Amino acid sequence: MSNEVVVKVRGVTKRFGDRVIFENISLDVHKSEVVAIIGPSGVGKSTFIRCINHLHSFDEGTIDVQGFRLVGGQSPSKAELQALHNSVGMVFQTFNLFPHLTVLDNIVLAPMQVKKQARQQAIDRAMHLLAMVGLQNRANTFPKRLSGGEQQRVAICRALAMEPEIMLFDEPTSMLDPELVGDVLEFIQRLARTGMTMVLVTHEMMFAKEVADTVVVMADHGIAEMGPAREVLESPRTERARSFLRRVLNPVGSPREPNLVANGGDDR
């Protein structure tokens, strides 16, 4: 992690209609830093990281990414967006692979169309990426034939094929069966070790503690607490962060109320 700030968020506010999702968020992401964003469902974690690559616009504040500036309430030019998307890759909770294209075509599409790479060059790079995750022999398969874990690894390869400077992950493992989570997290961890800058929304606390440099806890329309991963996760300073962590680390209920029967334990 260096001192160079590659994502600078200042005073960002986002509303859907009249509803404020978050207010006045500020945050720095340094080169090669791994930032994990945690917080309860519905606080706006997904919305926030989608603001970074302008999948969502925002209403107030500024976000500087790699020297490009997004300003609240203004729409950037096509060329600016193009440059932004070239340097920021994104991985989605639901993978969002293109179902009508093979694994290989999913990966080579953007390099060929956007970066005008020759097909052979794009294929070489794609096969190299697939080999890294042990999927080189599935290159000509359609996504639906892969397991969720395999699909997500392909989705990461697809984003990496554009050689981004920054990677955004929105709960990359929360749609996966438990036994498939490991492979995906392991790949993300390897990526972190190569020095990739990453902003990652996750519910995997152990993973965040191990891989992230910084943890951001979102609650009540803003950032409740932010700091070095171990500190925030092991000894949170604010009550809101404490109560959130208590709930996720001890989901079954407090010892005084043993939750022996599954009576409405699922309170989503």
Partner 1 sequence: MHVVILYLGVLLQGGMRDVELTVVSSILALMLGALGAIGRLYGGRIIGGAIYWYVELIRGLPPILQLFVLFFGLSQFGIDLNPLSAAIIWLVAYGAGYAVEVFRAGIMDVAEGQHEAATALGLDRKITMRKIIIPQAFVAMLPNLTTLIVLQLKNTTLLYLIGYADMMYQARLGADATAQPGPLYVVVAIEYLVLSAIISRIGSSMEKRAAAYR
Ligand X SMILES: Nc1ncnc2c1ncn2[C@@H]1O[C@H](COP(=O)(O)OP(=O)(O)O)[C@@H](O)[C@H]1O
Residue 16 found at the interface with ligand X (CB under 6 A): yes
Q: Which of 23, 142, 148, 222 binds partner 1 (CB under 8 A)?
A: 142
Binding to partner 1 by CB under 8 A, coded x per residue (else -) over 54-93, reads -x----------------------x---x--xx-xxx-x-
Q: Which stretch binds Mg ion (CB under 5 A): 39-47, 131-139, 203-211, 213-221?
A: 39-47
Q: Which of 19, 74, 140, 144 binds partner 1 (CB under 8 A)?
A: 144
Residue 47 found at the interface with Mg ion (CB under 5 A): no
Q: Using the 8-state DSSP alphabet, how is residue 137 labeled?
A: G
* Minimum distance of Mg ion from residue 171's CB (angstroms): 6
**Residue 63, amino acid:** I
User: Taking the alpha carbons of 244, 245, 249, 253 in that order, is the dihedral positive or negative?
Assistant: negative
Contact (CB, 8 A) for 84 and 76? yes
* Cβ distance to Mg ion smaller for residue 104 or 201: 201
* Minimum distance of Mg ion from residue 232's CB (angstroms): 20
Cα-atom radius of gyration of the chain, to the nearest Å?
Answer: 19
* Cβ distance to partner 1 smaller for residue 88 or 201: 88
41 binds, among Mg ion, ligand X, partner 1, none (CB under 5 to 8 A by kind): ligand X
C-alpha 17/C-alpha 47 separation (Å) is 14
Helix H or strand E encompassing 232: helix 229-234
Tell me whether residue 64 is exposed, middle or buried, using C-beta atoms within 10 angstroms of its C-beta: 0 to 12, 13 to 18, 19 or more.
middle
Contact (CB, 8 A) for 218 and 198? no
Q: Which of 11, 42, 99, 265 binds ligand X (CB under 6 A)?
A: 42
Residue 21 found at the interface with ligand X (CB under 6 A): yes
Residue 216 found at the interface with partner 1 (CB under 8 A): no
Residue 98 found at the interface with partner 1 (CB under 8 A): yes
**Token output for 254:** 């407090």
Tell me whether residue 57 is exposed, middle or buried, using C-beta atoms within 10 angstroms of its C-beta: 0 to 12, 13 to 18, 19 or more.
middle
Q: Which of 26, 32, 96, 136 binds partner 1 (CB under 8 A)?
A: 96
* Minimum distance of ligand X from residue 114's CB (angstroms): 25
Q: Using the 8-state DSSP alphabet, how is residue 217 labeled?
A: E
**Token output for 90:** 């994104």
Tell me whether residue 267 is exposed, middle or buried, using C-beta atoms within 10 angstroms of its C-beta: 0 to 12, 13 to 18, 19 or more.
exposed
| φ/ψ bin of 172: left (φ > 0), alpha (ψ from -120 to 50), beta (otherwise) | alpha
Binding-site ranges for Mg ion (CB under 5 A) = 46
Q: Which residues bind ligand X (CB under 6 A)?
A: 16, 21, 41-47
Residues that bind partner 1 (CB under 8 A): 50, 53, 55, 78, 82, 85-86, 88-90, 92, 94, 96-100, 109-110, 113-114, 142-144, 155, 158-159, 162
